[in-house]
Amino acid sequence: MVGRFDERFLEEIKSRLRPSDVIGRTVKLRKQGREYVGLSPFNKEKTPSFYVNDDKGMFFDFSSGKTGDLITYLQETERLSFAEAVERLAGEAGVPLPAVDPRGAEQEKVRQGLGDWLELAAQWFEADLRRPHGREARAYLEKRGLPEAEWARFRIGFSPSNRTALKDYLITKGAKPGELVEAGLLVAPEEGGAPYDRFRDRIIFPILDARGRVVSFGGRAMDPQARAKYLNGPETVVFHKGHHLYGLSEARKILAAAKADEAPPLVVVEGYMDVIACIRAGVPAVAPMGTALGEDQMEALWRHHPEPTLCFDGDRAGRQAAARAIDRALPLLKAGRSLQFAIVEGGKDPDDVLRDQGAPALRAQLTKTTPFAEALFRREHDDAEPLDTPERKTALKVRLRKLAASIADPDLAQAYKEDLLARYEALWPTRAPVYTVGAAGRELSRARWDKRKPVLTGATTEGKDAAQRLRASSKPLSAALAHAAVHDLTLLDDSIELVGSRGFGDEKLDKLAHELVRLRYETDHLEMDALYRRLLASGVTKADLDRVEREAGRAGVSAPFLKESGERARVLWRQAFDLLMQLEALERAVEAALQDVGRDPSALNTLGPLKAERDHLRRLINSDWTQDEMAPPTVLPH
């Protein structure tokens, strides 16, 4: 938030204005592909190098290196303050301004004042790098492959070892020690006494916000014996470690300058020098400030790129950082919003690769990425105990289902569950499905099929009508299964994976099935009123639930579990569900065999037995199958 203008308000303004329209009033623009080009408003030039991209909502000026959005443009060209620029654009967009909060206005005034001292400190650090006592720091930067020509681009500086050098300078400019403590530039001793400089004998890396304003600093110690190799500024009213990303302002310039069809990756690395190395190689990169990548930082990344690439070291600490990022990102994933992962080869970091192999090699390595779903599965599989027992295999399967269910977006949660479980099944060779029936689990052998001697009927109108009636006859049982599950979520427990992937055998119930499974994953118990409220909030309507109840009442003897309770109801519900899934599998097998007959008449030998067993199951479902000689199937094809 900036003053009284939060991100949502600013985005609303930008969504209503086209940059080419606003900027086109003062700069003559012509269409060039997906962009507009014109002469720079910042420098005199004969060849146009000023670009405006409406899709990105940004301008980029090659002649001056300036870039930004409409707010930045008005600030740069008309010398307006941020608030003045926002108010101007809000008026043009027809967006009413939020009410002025006196307290918020006062806080913004304080932030502005601290920002002025931070900017002055950055200039002092930059100048100090070039003074005599910055000699060792300059030599270190040269040794790390960062030449003097690049220092100004990243505003790199140096802080001398004197305890009050910066403090003394800023006080001569009118600063008060308390303000400098509040800005994070000075340290106030806990035991009392005069504040002193926070950064001493360190190479200084200014931390800028997305708009290029100094909000804090990071410092690398020159003394190898220093307690902290890297030191970051503290939390202040202008700097929040969990919100800001080092290098974002420079990364935005690269992203804005890229052509729409050649968008580079946005890479998250671990250190300041790694960010600088990537940006020098033409790869937009950022880094968190010594903490795990947080939710606010992820949201900032997604505002600039749909799939940022996390590039952590391949050591244990790097793997742990990637694992924490996976856990934090998982609930936030949406369609078109994910993460990728990359590991630089040879145990090196991006800075090493740039120095040793050059920019092309670094860019090539950063394109070798692993999708989020694969990284998640690898982590769970690699961290698991040896998968040498049914219990350990099942434990992994349960973890994968729970991880998928933690995604807030229901459609993506379902897609992730299917993807993760498919990877799980691929760990072991798939065996051909075996259909078993009967109380003793008798196998339906080919000999038994032959004894049936089915008669194949033609595709007459009467035959089609009969088939349609038979297919419709299974719907009351589907409704009964759903109705029972609404009243007792624990019925799902033994079949929750199949219910999640196949529903209740009726596509009209798929939404209800998905929501019941999601609720079962989220809670162990819900009162009926609370469950109804959750279902209605998810998009399941009262009409849907009433229809399920009506159709369940038509199930009759095919749904004996509706008249039972406790463990008996659970056993019968599972058996009925298995019957329905067996019938679905046979329906699919018959359809596939019918297609095969068109190509190979010998497929009739397979089609006949399949149709006979399917019809047998249809009749069984509509009878009191608990008394039938053939009990429900105990093994299902997956």
Pick from 227, 220, 232: nearest CA to 136: 220
pLDDT digits (tens, 9 = 90+) for 222-276: 998 888 899 999 999 899 988 899 999 899 888 877 766 677 899 999 889 999 9
- How far apart CA 219 and CA 156 sit, in angstroms, is 10
Residue 554 confidence class, pLDDT cut points 50, 70, 90 = confident
pLDDT digits (tens, 9 = 90+) for 495-553: 787 787 778 888 888 888 888 888 887 776 667 777 878 888 888 888 888 888 888 88
Pick from 460, 481, 511: nearest CA to 584: 481
- How far apart CA 498 and CA 516 sit, in angstroms, is 12
Query: What's the Cα-to-Cα distance from 374 to each of 102, 280, 382, 383, 391, rounded to whole Å?
Result: 50, 30, 12, 14, 23
- How far apart CA 590 and CA 606 sit, in angstroms, is 9
- The Cβ-side half-sphere exposure at 168, using a 13 Å CA radius, reads 6
Q: What is the pLDDT of residue 129?
A: 96
Report residue 303: phi and psi, to 5°.
-70, -20
- The neighbouring-strand residues paired with 285 are 267
Q: What is the DSSP letter of 347?
A: G
- How far apart CA 87 and CA 68 sit, in angstroms, is 17
Pick from 219, 218, 274, 286: nearest CA to 250: 286
Question: How does the average pLDDT of the chain come out, rounded?
Answer: 82
Residue 452 confidence class, pLDDT cut points 50, 70, 90 = very low
- How far apart CA 289 and CA 206 sit, in angstroms, is 12
Confidence check: pLDDT of 358 > 60: yes
- The Cβ-side half-sphere exposure at 528, using a 13 Å CA radius, reads 7
- Per the listing, tokens 């989020």 go with 372
Q: What is the pTM of this model?
A: 0.59
Q: What is the DSSP letter of 274?
A: H
Q: Please, what is the angle between helix 542-553 and helix 475-487, to 10°?
A: 120
Confidence check: pLDDT of 319 > 90: no
Fold of 102-232: DNA primase DNAg catalytic core, N-terminal domain (3.90.980)
Q: What is the pLDDT of residue 429?
A: 62
Q: Which residue has the higher pLDDT, 11 or 416?
A: 416
- Contact between residue 508 and residue 476 where contact means Cβ atoms under 8 Å apart: no
Residues contacting residue 28 through CB under 8 Å, at least 6 positions apart: 38, 39
Confidence check: pLDDT of 449 > 70: no
- How far apart CA 114 and CA 238 sit, in angstroms, is 8
pLDDT digits (tens, 9 = 90+) for 121-173: 999 999 999 999 999 999 999 998 899 999 999 999 999 999 999 999 999 99
Query: What's the Cα-to-Cα distance from 504 to each of 103, 196, 522, 523, 559, rounded to whole Å?
Result: 57, 70, 20, 21, 13
- How far apart CA 333 and CA 513 sit, in angstroms, is 22
Q: Where are the beta strands (DSSP E) in 296-339?
A: 309-311
Q: How many whole angstroms from its chain centre is CA 13? A: 26
How many C-beta atoms surround the C-beta of residue 91 within 10 A?
A: 12
- How far apart CA 606 and CA 456 sit, in angstroms, is 12
Q: What is the DSSP letter of 432?
A: P
pLDDT digits (tens, 9 = 90+) for 63-118: 887 888 999 999 888 878 788 899 999 998 888 888 766 666 677 777 888 999 99
CA dihedral over 482, 488, 494, 499, signed as positive or negative: positive
pLDDT digits (tens, 9 = 90+) for 410-426: 999 999 999 999 999 88
Q: Where are the alpha helices (DSSP H) in 563-621?
A: 566-599, 604-621
3-state SS assignment for residue 184: coil
Is the backbone of residue 160 left (phi > 0), alpha (psi -120 to 50) or beta? beta
CA dihedral over 412, 413, 418, 421, signed as positive or negative: positive
- How far apart CA 581 and CA 34 sit, in angstroms, is 52
Which structure tokens are listed for 636?
């299902």
Residue range 567-572: mean pLDDT, rounded? 86
Confidence check: pLDDT of 339 > 80: yes
Report residue 477: phi and psi, to 5°.
-65, -40
Residue 437 confidence class, pLDDT cut points 50, 70, 90 = very low
Give the gyration radius of the chain's Cα atoms: 33
Residues contacting residue 157 through CB under 8 Å, at least 6 positions apart: 122, 124, 125, 126, 127, 128, 129, 203, 204, 206
| Domain 7-93: assigned CATH number | 3.90.580.10
Fold of 248-377: Dna Topoisomerase Vi A Subunit; Chain: A, domain 2 (3.40.1360)
